[in-house]
Amino acid sequence: MQLNIETFSNVRGGNAFFKAVTHPMAAEKGCALFTRLAPMGRVAVYDPENCADALGQLYDLSGVAIAGLYAQDVDAIGRTALGHRAQPVTALKECAADAVLVACFDAERTIAHIRHLLPDGAVVASLDELRLPDELVTNGARYLDPINFATNFVFFRDAGGLSTRLVTANYWSGYGARQITIWCVLFDQAGTAIARWYEALPQGAGAFTIDSREVRRRFRLGEFTGQIFLHAVGAAGHDVVKYALDVYGTDAAKLSLSCTHDANSWPSALYAGLPAPDKGETVTLWIQNSMPCAIPSGTIGLNLMGDTAVSYLPNSVPAFASRPLDVATLLPKARWPQQIEMHAGKYVVRPRYEVRGRGRLRIAHVNVERSDLESDPKIAELGNLLGKGYLLPAPVLPRTAWRSLALPTPMSTAQQDLPVALIVYDRAGREAARHGFGRLARRDSIAVDVDSLLNGAKLPDDYGHMELVYDFARGGGADGWLHALFRYEDRGSGHAAETSFGAHVFNTVLTYKSEPQSYAGRPPGLSTRLFLRLGDAPYDTLCHLIYPASTPWHADSATELVLYDRAGREIARERIAIPCSGSRFFRYHEMFDAKTRERAGDAAYIVVRDITCRLFGYHGLIGRGGAFSLDHMFGF
C-alpha cells in the first residue's frame, strides 16, 4: 500500500510537485477540482510531466470517467497510469472527451502548445486550480520553485497537563530574506483544521515561538493533540522550517520534560531507531498523516529490526489525522534494547514516539531508513586519507548526575551488518576508553553503558563525549549512513532523555560524497552556525558542544556564543576554546550572569558561531525534580 511517489531525492533534494499537491490548502482545491470534473463526462488527461499517477494516489478520482492518458515525452508513451496506457499527445484530437485535464502547474504555455489538438468543445482544466493564493507564494515567476514550499509539520499538543512550545529564529534573514510570514494550520487528532492564522516573524534574526497554551487561549480551544502545518512565505536559502520543540508538564505531569527537533518535511517509506519498551515502560508511536488522503488499513507496520515478520495496523488513518499506537499491541514481546523498524508507506514525516515509565514521559523521534544505498567498499579504504572518516559524536554528560548509553541502530536496508566501535574521549580530546562491538548483525541490539567502559576511571571535569566509528577489523560493509540512539538517565530521579542522529565526516578539507557537509554551498563544511534555544523561567538550559575531527584539525576551536534577545539584538557574547576531539558542557545560567540574562529577557537565544571548524551540538532544558531534556541542535 506504499505511495509510489518520489518525495525526496538525495541528489535533487525535495520534490516541489509533491509538496504543491499535498499542501493542505491545495488539497482542499484539489478535491474541489475533481468534484467539478466528475459530472462533465469523459475526461482526457494530458500528463506532460508524468505526474498523473501521483494524483491518482493522493486524490479520489473514482468519480471521474477517464477517457485516456496522453504523454509528451516519447519515452513515456506506453506507460500505465490511472488505469490507462499513455498515448502520444498528437492523438488527443481523436479522443471523444468532454474535458481535458492538463496535469501540470504553470500550464498556460503548455495548453497553448496543444490547443489545436483539443477535442471540439472540450473544457480545459489544469493543476493551476490548485495554486496557492499569491500571498503564500514567494517566487511567483516559477510556481514549483522549492522556495515556494518552505514547509514543515510539528507535533503539537495541549492536553493532560502537557504543553508544547516551538522555538526558532528568522534564519532566512541571513540569506537576504526581508519579511517572513508563517501560515499556520492546526489539525486536531481527527485531522480537522481547528485553527488557521498568520504569524509575522521579526525582521532580522529575531526569535519566533508558538506555545500551545497561547494557541488554546487565542482560539478558545479545548484540549488537543495533533499537528501544525507551517508554511514560510518570503524564505531564502532554506526550504525547510527548522525548529526546536519542547514538551513540558504544567499540571500533574509537571515532572515531564523532553524536546525534539524539526521533522524532515518529506515522508519516507521506512523509519528505524524506535526503541522497544524497557520493563515498566510503554512506548507509543504517533502516526501523524501528512497526506490529503487516508492511510489505508494494513499500511503502517512494525517489525523487530532484522526480522522479516511485519505486524500491520488494521485501522486506517484519515487525512492529516494523528493516531497513537502502543507498540506492544503489534509487538507484545519486544523489550529494550531491541529496536523496531517502521513501515510508513510514505504517508508520514519523521514520526515522534513517547516513552512513559516511572511516572514520567519523554518524547523523541525515529529516523529515515534509506533504501537507495549500497555497501561502499571504498569507505574501508579511506582511512589513510580521511582518518576516522564517518563518525557520530554524542555527549557523555557529567557523570555525577547522569548515565550515558549508546545503541547502534541500522538505518538503511543495505546494512546487513554493522562493523563499529565506540570511543570515549575526555573533554580535552584524549581517548579514555574504546569498545569494539565487532561485526554486529542487523538483528543485534546491544546498548553500552559508558560507566562500564570507564570501569571506575574518572573524567576531568566529569564529562566528555563518545564517537561511534566504523571498525573493519572483522570485515563487514559500510554505506556511510551510520546511526545510533543515545539514552541519558538522571541517577537520582530516573528521568531519561534520548536522541538519535547519523554520522558525518568532520573537519577535513578532503571531500567524499558531499562530506564534510556544508550548511549552504559546496562541501567541505568547516564552519559552525548552531541555534541554541533558551528556556524561560523556571528552566535552565544545558548545551554540550563537541569538536569532532576525522583527521587532526586546528588544535582549538575559536567559538563564540552570541546571546540575542527575541528581537534579534545582540546582548552579549562569550568566547570559548574547545580542544580538537574534545567538548564543552555548560549551562546558560553559568555562562551568562543574572544581569545579562535579565537584559536578554524571555524568548532569548544563542547562536554558536565558529569560522574555523565544524562543531556538533546537543541542547536541553533542566527542570524540577530531576527532569531534563536533550536532543541535537540544528544549524543554518
| CATH number for the domain harbouring residue 125 | 3.40.50
Per-residue pLDDT at 222 exceeds 80: yes
Give the mean model confidence (pLDDT) for residues 152-180: 91
Q: What is the pLDDT of residues 601-619, one digit of tens each?
A: 999 999 999 999 999 999 9
Confidence of residue 262 (pLDDT cuts 50, 70, 90): confident
Give the mean model confidence (pLDDT) for residues 446-469: 97
Domain boundary among 368, 389, 409: 368
- Residue 339 belongs to some domain of the structure: yes
Give the mean model confidence (pLDDT) for residues 582-607: 96
**Pairing, β 367-368 against β 270-275:** antiparallel
Per-residue pLDDT at 258 exceeds 90: no
**Residues 286 and 225 placed together within one structural domain of the fold:** no
CB 8 within 8 A of CB 15: yes
Q: Which residues contact 417 (CB under 8 A, 6 or more apart)?
A: 439, 440, 441, 442, 476, 477
Give the mean model confidence (pLDDT) for residues 405-429: 97
- Residue 139 belongs to some domain of the structure: no
**Residues 156 and 78 placed together within one structural domain of the fold:** no
Half-sphere exposure at residue 144, Cβ-oriented, CA atoms within 13 angstroms: 14
CATH of the domain at 195: 2.60.290
Least confident interval from 409-413, 435-439, 491-495: 491-495
Give the mean model confidence (pLDDT) for residues 228-237: 93
Least confident interval from 123-127, 215-219, 347-351, 585-589: 347-351
Q: What is the pLDDT of residues 548-565, one digit of tens each?
A: 999 999 999 999 999 999
- Residue 520 belongs to some domain of the structure: yes
**Pairing, β 181-187 against β 84-88:** unpaired
Q: How far apart are CA 365 and CA 153, in angstroms?
A: 13
Q: What is the pLDDT of residues 267-287, one digit of tens each?
A: 899 999 999 999 999 999 999
In this prediction, residue 521 carries a pLDDT of 82
**Residues 152 and 217 placed together within one structural domain of the fold:** yes
**Residues 171 and 222 placed together within one structural domain of the fold:** yes
Q: What are φ and ψ of residue 501, in 5° steps?
A: -165, 180
Per-residue pLDDT at 635 exceeds 90: no
Element housing 591 (H / E)? helix 588-591
In this prediction, residue 624 carries a pLDDT of 85
Q: What are φ and ψ of residue 259, in 5° steps?
A: -145, 155
CB 224 within 8 A of CB 157: yes
Domain residues for the domain of 95 are 8-130
**Residues 441 and 337 placed together within one structural domain of the fold:** no
**Proportion of the chain above pLDDT 90, given as a percent:** 84
Other C-beta atoms closer than 10 Å to the C-beta of 1 total 14
**Residues 165 and 115 placed together within one structural domain of the fold:** no
Determine the straight-line distance between the first and last CA of the chain, rounded to whole angstroms: 36
**Residues 507 and 524 placed together within one structural domain of the fold:** yes
**Residues 352 and 387 placed together within one structural domain of the fold:** no
- Residue 302 belongs to some domain of the structure: yes
Q: What are φ and ψ of residue 369, in 5° steps?
A: -95, 120
Q: What single DSSP character describes residue 567?
A: T
**Residues 446 and 470 placed together within one structural domain of the fold:** yes
In this prediction, residue 204 carries a pLDDT of 82
In this prediction, residue 634 carries a pLDDT of 86
In this prediction, residue 10 carries a pLDDT of 52
- Residue 373 belongs to some domain of the structure: no
Per-residue pLDDT at 12 exceeds 60: no
CB 46 within 8 A of CB 70: yes
Domain count for the chain: 4
**Residues 404 and 498 placed together within one structural domain of the fold:** yes
- Grid coordinates standing for 11? 541528489
In this prediction, residue 8 carries a pLDDT of 56
Give the mean model confidence (pLDDT) for residues 408-419: 97
Per-residue pLDDT at 358 exceeds 90: no
Domain boundary among 261, 280, 301: 261
Per-residue pLDDT at 48 exceeds 50: yes
**Residues 624 and 497 placed together within one structural domain of the fold:** yes
Q: What is the pLDDT of residues 301-313, one digit of tens each?
A: 999 999 999 999 9
Domain boundary among 130, 164, 186: 130
**Proportion of the chain above pLDDT 70, given as a percent:** 98
In this prediction, residue 14 carries a pLDDT of 63
- Residue 138 belongs to some domain of the structure: no
Per-residue pLDDT at 89 exceeds 70: yes
Q: For the chain, what is the mean pLDDT?
A: 93
- Of 379, 390, 383, the closest CA to residue 548 belongs to 390
Per-residue pLDDT at 238 exceeds 90: no
- Residue 446 belongs to some domain of the structure: yes
In this prediction, residue 11 carries a pLDDT of 47
**Residues 504 and 438 placed together within one structural domain of the fold:** yes
In sign, the C-alpha dihedral spanning 61, 62, 68, 74 is: positive
* DSSP secondary structure string for all residues of 423-469: EEEETTS-EEEEEEEEEEETT----EEHHHHHTT---GGG-EEEEEE
Q: How far apart are CA 439 and CA 305, in angstroms?
A: 16
- Residue 135 belongs to some domain of the structure: no
In this prediction, residue 234 carries a pLDDT of 92
* Diameter over CA atoms, the chain: 86
